[in-house]
Structure 1
Amino acid sequence: MSARALQHAGRNPSQKTINKYWTPQTAKLNFDDFCIILRKEKPTSKAELLKSFKQLDVNDDGSILHTDLYKLLTKRGEKMTREEVNAIVNLADVNADGKFDYIKFCKLYLTTNEQCLKTALEKLEVDSKLKRQHFGSHIEASPEREPSPVPKPSPRIMRRSDEDTFTNKGDTRSSLLATTRKFKTSVSFTVTMGANSNRNSKLTEPNSVKEWQCVQSKGCFFLEEDGEIVSHQYRMQIAQRCMVYLTIKPLNLSQAEGKPSPWLSVDTALYILKENESQANLQLMCFTELQNREVFGWTGELAPGMYWLIPSTTGCRLRKEGQAVAEEAQLVYRDETGGLLLTQEFRSTLSDIFEVIDLDGNGLLSLEEYNFFELRTSGEKCDEDAWAVCRENFDTKKNELTRRGFMDLNLVEANDREGDPRDLWVTLHAMGYNKALELTEACPFVIDVYADKCKPRIKAVHMEACSGQLEKAVCKSVLSKGDAKVMDGYEDIIVHTYTCDTWITSVIENKSDNKAIIHISNELSRNCVNNRGLNIFAVEVAPKSAMVCQHVMPLNGQQEWMSHCVYSLIS
C-alpha cells in the first residue's frame, strides 16, 4: 500500500526506499508523515531518466540491447528479478528487434505518472471528509514554503544535507505544528561542553604495549544513497585469557606532508561482542569509549573465545554532499600514439583505494579482499576461475594482486569502453568519491588489536549496514552507562543519555505493552548537529524495546557547544 500511495503521488520508490520509511516498528503513517516522505523523495525528471539510461547506451542511438538490459538490471544496484525485466522488455511500445527504446520509455513513464497523480487527486477531492479520516490533519503550506518537518512515527528519519538544517534558530513552522500535538509529559536533558573538550581524554597506552603481539586490519564506512552507513565487520579469536588493548581511528591517506585527510574529524567507535555457543548469541563486552585525538580505544581483560568487532560512527559528520562539483576530473587520456592511459590524478585515487581495500596492509590484494571491493562496486563476487584469469593477465605476487596489477585492471576496463569513463565513475561513486575525485561519502579506518599473552586473529567477514547487532550494542551500552530520566506519570518510558567527550547518544526505552511515539526537539541547542538532520522529529518505539533516538556532536569543535533536548510523549 505504501508503494502504491507514493506511485499515485508521482514517485517511483524502490523496495529499499519503502523499507527506509516503513520498518517493522512502523504501525501506520498519517498525512503529515506522508508529506515528509514526498518532500524527501522528489519526482524523477525526464532529464534524470535520460541521463541514467544514456550511461548504459553503448552506441549512443537511444536504445539498449535486451541482453545488456538483463545484465545491468539483474546484476547491479537494487537487483530486479528476470520476471521483472521481462515485464519491461515485453512492452510493445518501447521494444523492437531485441532493443529497448529508452527515449520512448521515458515519455511513457512520465505520462503514466502524470495520469496516476491526476487520478489520485480527483479521488481525494471527491470527499474531503473521507480524506481527513484516512490521512489525518495537515497544515497546508504556501507553494513557496516547504512542508513542515512534522513528527514522523518511524525509527528512521529522513536526513537533510542543507547547511541551514544545523542552525540553532529552529523552525517556527515546526514549532507551530508541534503545538497542535497534545503532549502527555516531557523530560529534558541539557549538556554543555567546552571547546576541544577531548583534550583531557583518559585514553593511554598500556606501559608495556610495545612488547605485546599486535594485529591490524583496515576497513571503511560507506554512505549509501538513503543516508544509511555500511561498514566492514570482523571476527576475532583470542586463544587464551589476556590483557587486550584495542583502538580504532580514521585512516589518513593524504599524500601531502602535514595535510591531514578531511575525514579525520569523522567519529569512530568499535563494539566488542563475544560469541556464546553461536554467532546469533552475542554478548556485549565493551566499546572504545576513551579518546586521544582521533583515536578511540579500550583496555581490559578478555577470556579465550570468538568475538565480533563491529565498527560504528554516529553519522553526524559523514553525510551526503550538499553542493555539486563544478568541474569533473579527467580519468583517462590518449598519448601521442593514441594509446589510452590513466591520468596521474586518477592513478593517485586508485592508489588510495588500493590502500583502503588492502585490509591486512601487506601491499597485496587477496581474493577475499578484492571481493569486498567487487561487492561494493558491482554487487558481484569474483569466483576462483575469474581470479585465476586475473592472476594470469595482471601483475601478482604470492597469488595476490599487486598495486600495479590493480592499476592495469582499471586501465583494461577503460580500454574495454574505448576510453568512456562512465563505468569507472560508477566504481568511484560506490567507493565514496565525488566528480572532483574527493573522498566525501566514505571514511576509511584502521583497527589495531594488542594482546599481552597471545597473538589475536582478526578477519573481515561482512560488509553490512550499521544496524542490527550494532543497534542492540549501542542500546545496551547507553542503558548501562548513561543517565536515565523517567517520563513523569509514565514510568515505563525512560530516556537514557550517554555523554562522552565527542558526542552525546540518547536511547528511548519502552517497557510498556503499547507503542510509544516520542516528539524530540533540539531547537534550543547551540553549535550542534545530529545524525537525523532535523531539529524537530518524532520516533515510534515498539512495545518492550529500546531504540537509538539520536546522536549529537558539535558543529564546530573549536567552540563551546550545548545540547538541549526535550523529549515529549505524544498522546
Structure 2
Amino acid sequence: MSEVMSLEMAISPGSDATFSSQRSDISEGARTKKCLPTEEEIFYMNCRAAYLTVFKSSLENIISKDQLYLALQHAGRNPSRKTINKYWTPQTAKLNFDDFCIILKKEKPTSKAELLKSFKQLDVNDDGSILHSDLYKFLTKRGEKMTREEVNAMINLAGVNADGRFDYIKFCKLYMTTSEQCLKTTLEKLEVDGKLRRQQFGSHTRGSSEKDRSLPLPKPSPRIIRKTDQETFSDKGDTRNHSLGTTRKFKTSVSFTIIMGANSNRNSKLTEPNSIKDWQCAQSRGCFFLEEDGDIISHHYRMQIAQRSVVYLTIKPLKLSQVEGKPSPWLSVDTALYILKENESQADLQLICFTELRNREVFGWTGELGPGVYCLIPSTTGCWLRKEIKPTTEEAQLVCRDETGELCLTKEFRSTLSDIFDIIDLDGNGLLSLEEYNFFELRTSGEKCDEDAWAVCKENFDTKKNELTRQGFLDLNLMEANDREGDPRDLWVTLHSMGYSKALELTEACPFVIDVYADKCRPRIKAVHMEACSGQLEKIICKSVLNKGDTKVMDGYENIVIHTDKRDTWITSVIENKTDNKVIIHVNNELSRNCINNRGLNIFAVEVAPKSTMVSQHVMPLNERQEWIYYSVYSLIS
C-alpha cells in the first residue's frame, strides 16, 4: 500500500485539526471486572506484536525512517510522508518502543467510514466513482500533496479503475482489507513464536489483571532475577546500536515495597486557619495542558508578599459547568504547587515549601513567609492527565443555521466556549484583558494579539472597562465561523488545543484555581508565562525527593541510587546517576496492586544521563477506597 501512503493526509477534511485520543475514565466497575482484556491491554499487545515483527527485541531501537514506516504498517497504519517526518526530524537519531507506543496512540488507523466520507466530497455524480482528472487535481493540490508517481500508482491499481474513473468504494475495501491483514499477520506471528510471547519487556498494561491481583505480595528480593527476565535479554548475535542497549541481562536489582492504606473519605490534615475570614486574599486561575508528546505545560506565577505574614495557600481543580451524564475527568486530576523564593544573589530559586496537605481535592500549605517575591510552579503527577485509548466518538456539531439561514453556534458549543472563557479569565473578574487573551492566543495559535489588533477587537465586540466580555468572546468565535463559511476546522483547532475531545469533553487539560490568604498584608499573584512541567520543575521534584525520600543503592554500583518519596496521595521515584556514563534502568511494576503511574506502562526502561537525576515515575492508587501496594523492581541493564 505504499502507493497511497499520503492518502489519509491528502483527503481528510479535518487532517490539520486531528489530535490524539480522549481520556479513558477508569470506573470502579472497570477495576473489578477484568475478565476480558481491556482496550489498553489490546492496544499494547498490538504495539508489541508489530514491533517484534520488525525487531528481535523490544529493547531494539528504530534507527531509520524506513524502519519506522515498516513498524507502523505492521501496526495497521498507513503513514504519510508528513506523518513520518513529524516523528523523525533531522535531529532524530533513534526511537524506542515507548516512543513507538506513543506514536500509535496519536496516529489512529483510518476507518472505512472516514475514507468514504472524504471521497464522497469529490463524487459529484454520487455514483461511487471519481474522474481520474478530478482525483489527480485534488490529491496533488490539497492537504499533503501527493506526487505524480503516487497518484499514478493509485490510478493504475487493478480492480478499482475503469473508463477513466476511480471506484473509491472498492478502493476503501481494498485499503481496509490490506491494513487488517497486515495486523492479523503480525499477531499470528507473535502467537506462534513462543520466545516472543515470553518476552516481558514491552508487555505493557495499565493496572493488573484479576489473576495478578490474586497473587500474594512477594517478599522483597532485590538480588533475584526471574528466569523469564533472563530470557528477555537472551538474544544473541544482534550487534545493532540501541539507546536502550543490546545487552541481555541485568547486572543488579533493587526493589521497593510500600503498602498504602485506603483513604475512603479523601481527607488529610489540611485545615483553614480559624481567623481566615479576616485575612486578605488573592486568586488566580490556570490550566495544565497535555501536549502531543505527552508532556504537560501550565501557567507559572509570581507572588508578592509586602510584609512578613502567615500565609494559607491552596490549589484545586476549577469547577466548570457540568452536563448531567457527561464525565468531568479533570476534577480527578491531582494538583500541587511548589513555592520558591526569588533571590538576586542566587542562580537557582530556593525551594521554600510544597502543598502536600490535603482536604479532598484541595491541596494546601500554611506557614510564615517573609517579604519578597516568590515563584509559584503548579505540578501534577500526570497519572490522571494522560492520552488514553478510547473509541472515536462522533464529532459534535459546532455551528448550524437558524430559521433565517444565518450561521449560529450550537448550544453545546456555546456552553463549551463559556467554560473556556472561565478557564482563560485568570483573575476571575468575568472579563478578558489583553494579557489574559494572549495566554489563550499563544496556546491556540502560537501568536500574540498586538495592541492594534486588540483595538480592532474592542471596536467590533462587546467590551467593558477595555476588556472583552463573555458575549464578546462568543461573538468573536462566531465571526471566525462566518469567515470560514461554517467550516469548523479552525474552531476544532482551538478546542483541541484547549484539551477538548470530539465530544466536547475536557479530557486533555485540567483547569485549576490558586487561592492565597495572608494575615498581615494583601498578597499579589500574577501569571507570568506558560512552561512545560519538566526542566526546572523536574529539578525541583528531584531535589525534594533526594532530601526526603527513602534511598537504596544498587548493589555493587554505589554511584547509582534509587530514591522513593512516599506522600499521602502518591509515590515518586527518582533515579540518581553519579557516574560519568549514561545508565539504563529497567523498571518493573507488574506486582504492584491497585496502582496507576504517569507512564501508563507496568514495564519500561529509562536512560539516565551521566551526573544527573531524573524522575522515574509517579504512582497513585487506582481506587482510593482500597488499599494499594507499590512493589517496584529497578534493575541495571548491562
Match 2:316 to one of 249, 255, 279:
249
CA shift for structure 1 position 518: 1.4
Structure 1 residue matching 2:348: 3-state secondary structure: strand
Match 1:41 to one of 103, 106, 125:
103
Whole-angstrom distance in 1 between the partners of 2:290 and 2:199: 23
CA shift for structure 1 position 167: 2.4
On the 8 A contact 2:199/2:232 being kept in 1, the answer is no
Q: Note closer, same or farther for the CA distance 1:211–1:359 as it changes in structure 2 (3 Å cut).
A: same
Q: Note closer, same or farther for the CA distance 1:45–1:454 as it changes in structure 2 (3 Å cut).
A: closer
Partner of 2:383: 316
Greater alpha carbon shift after TM alignment, 357-366 vs 342-351: 342-351
Whole-angstrom distance in 1 between the partners of 2:379 and 2:273: 24
Whole-angstrom distance in 1 between the partners of 2:528 and 2:346: 12
Greater alpha carbon shift after TM alignment, 357-366 vs 224-233: 224-233
Structure 1 residue matching 2:447: 3-state secondary structure: coil
Partner of 2:252: 185
On the 8 A contact 1:269/1:288 being kept in 2, the answer is yes
CA shift for structure 1 position 229: 1.0
CA shift for structure 1 position 523: 0.8
CA shift for structure 1 position 334: 0.8
Structure 2: which amino acid aligns with 1:143? K
Partner of 2:526: 459
Task: Render the CA deviation track for 1:362-388: whole Å, top value 9, x for unaligned.
Answer: 000001111111111111111111110
Whole-angstrom distance in 1 between the partners of 2:417 and 2:357: 33
Match 1:551 to one of 610, 618, 623:
618
On the 8 A contact 2:102/2:293 being kept in 1, the answer is no
Structure 1 residue matching 2:559: 3-state secondary structure: strand
Q: Note closer, same or farther for the CA distance 1:20–1:310 as it changes in structure 2 (3 Å cut).
A: farther
Matched, 1:165 2:206: yes
CA shift for structure 1 position 198: 6.7
Task: Render the CA deviation track for 1:56-90: whole Å, top value 9, x for unaligned.
Answer: x9xx779xxxxxxxxxxxxxxxxxxxxxxxxxxxx
Whole-angstrom distance in 2 between the partners of 1:539 and 1:413: 45
Partner of 2:348: 281
Partner of 1:232: 299
Match 2:467 to one of 387, 394, 400:
400
On the 8 A contact 1:252/1:261 being kept in 2, the answer is no
**Which structure's residues are more often strand, by fraction?**
1
Whole-angstrom distance in 2 between the partners of 1:173 and 1:422: 53
Whole-angstrom distance in 2 between the partners of 1:35 and 1:342: 43
On the 8 A contact 1:197/1:502 being kept in 2, the answer is no
Aligned residue pairs: how many? 492
Structure 1 residue matching 2:274: 3-state secondary structure: coil
Partner of 1:383: 450
CA shift for structure 1 position 544: 1.9
CA shift for structure 1 position 344: 1.1
Whole-angstrom distance in 1 between the partners of 2:548 and 2:396: 47
Partner of 1:220: 287
TM-score under structure 2 length normalisation: 0.69
On the 8 A contact 2:68/2:84 being kept in 1, the answer is no
Q: Note closer, same or farther for the CA distance 1:2–1:550 as it changes in structure 2 (3 Å cut).
A: same
Task: Render the CA deviation track for 1:455-481: whole Å, top value 9, x for unaligned.
Answer: 122111111211111001111111112
Q: Note closer, same or farther for the CA distance 1:280–1:107 as it changes in structure 2 (3 Å cut).
A: farther
Match 1:353 to one of 405, 408, 420:
420
Match 1:143 to one of 182, 189, 198:
189
Whole-angstrom distance in 2 between the partners of 1:465 and 1:240: 31
Q: Percent identity?
A: 68
Structure 2: which amino acid aligns with 1:41? I
Instruction: Map 1:68-467 onto structure 2 (within 5 A).
Output: 102=144, 104-105=146-147, 108=150, 143-144=189-190, 164-168=205-209, 175=229, 177-178=231-232, 180=234, 181-196=248-263, 199=266, 201-255=268-322, 261-277=328-344, 281-467=348-534
TM-score under structure 1 length normalisation: 0.77
Matched, 1:476 2:543: yes
Q: Note closer, same or farther for the CA distance 1:378–1:278 as it changes in structure 2 (3 Å cut).
A: farther
Structure 2: which amino acid aligns with 1:496? H
Whole-angstrom distance in 2 between the partners of 1:202 and 1:45: 44
Task: Render the CA deviation track for 1:385-421: whole Å, top value 9, x for unaligned.
Answer: 1110000000000110000000000111111111121
On the 8 A contact 1:198/1:292 being kept in 2, the answer is no
Greater alpha carbon shift after TM alignment, 255-264 vs 525-534: 255-264
Greater alpha carbon shift after TM alignment, 480-489 vs 214-223: 480-489
Whole-angstrom distance in 2 between the partners of 1:348 and 1:147: 49
Structure 1: which amino acid aligns with 2:189? P
Structure 1 residue matching 2:189: 3-state secondary structure: coil
Q: Note closer, same or farther for the CA distance 1:61–1:283 as it changes in structure 2 (3 Å cut).
A: farther
Task: Render the CA deviation track for 1:33-75: whole Å, top value 9, x for unaligned.
Answer: 6455445435979969x989x99x9xx779xxxxxxxxxxxxx
Structure 2 residue matching 1:41: 3-state secondary structure: helix
Structure 2: which amino acid aligns with 1:330? Q
Whole-angstrom distance in 2 between the partners of 1:275 and 1:490: 37
Structure 1: which amino acid aligns with 2:574? V
Instruction: Map 1:499-518 onto structure 2 (within 5 A).
Output: 499-518=566-585
Q: Note closer, same or farther for the CA distance 1:437–1:106 as it changes in structure 2 (3 Å cut).
A: farther
CA shift for structure 1 position 489: 2.3
Structure 1: which amino acid aligns with 2:304? Q
Whole-angstrom distance in 2 between the partners of 1:464 and 1:51: 36
On the 8 A contact 2:289/2:499 being kept in 1, the answer is yes
Structure 2 residue matching 1:166: 3-state secondary structure: coil
On the 8 A contact 2:65/2:84 being kept in 1, the answer is no
Structure 2: which amino acid aligns with 1:369? E
Task: Render the CA deviation track for 1:111-170: whole Å, top value 9, x for unaligned.
Answer: 89xxxxxxxxxxxxxxxxxxxxxxxxxxx9863569998769xxxxxx98xxx4322567
Whole-angstrom distance in 2 between the partners of 1:326 and 1:497: 40
On the 8 A contact 1:254/1:261 being kept in 2, the answer is no
Q: Note closer, same or farther for the CA distance 1:14–1:210 as it changes in structure 2 (3 Å cut).
A: farther
Q: Note closer, same or farther for the CA distance 1:19–1:495 as it changes in structure 2 (3 Å cut).
A: farther
Q: Note closer, same or farther for the CA distance 1:141–1:419 as it changes in structure 2 (3 Å cut).
A: closer
Structure 1: which amino acid aligns with 2:291? E
Structure 2 residue matching 1:498: 3-state secondary structure: strand
Whole-angstrom distance in 1 between the partners of 2:494 and 2:346: 32
Whole-angstrom distance in 2 between the partners of 1:173 and 1:383: 64
Whole-angstrom distance in 2 between the partners of 1:231 and 1:173: 44
Structure 1 residue matching 2:593: 3-state secondary structure: coil
On the 8 A contact 1:321/1:440 being kept in 2, the answer is no
Task: Specify every segment of 5 or more residues in structure 2 that has no aligned partner in the other structure, as ranges.
Answer: 1-61, 73-78, 124-135, 155-185, 213-225, 235-247
Task: Specify every segment of 5 or more residues in structure 1 that has no aligned partner in the other structure, as ranges.
Answer: 23-27, 63-93, 113-139, 153-158
On the 8 A contact 1:213/1:454 being kept in 2, the answer is yes
Task: Render the CA deviation track for 1:489-535: whole Å, top value 9, x for unaligned.
Answer: 22222211111121110111122223222111101011111111111
Whole-angstrom distance in 2 between the partners of 1:381 and 1:497: 42
Whole-angstrom distance in 1 between the partners of 2:617 and 2:254: 15
Aligned Cα root-mean-square deviation (Å): 3.9
Whole-angstrom distance in 1 between the partners of 2:453 and 2:631: 56
Greater alpha carbon shift after TM alignment, 509-518 vs 450-459: 509-518
Q: Note closer, same or farther for the CA distance 1:417–1:237 as it changes in structure 2 (3 Å cut).
A: same
Q: Note closer, same or farther for the CA distance 1:330–1:186 as it changes in structure 2 (3 Å cut).
A: same
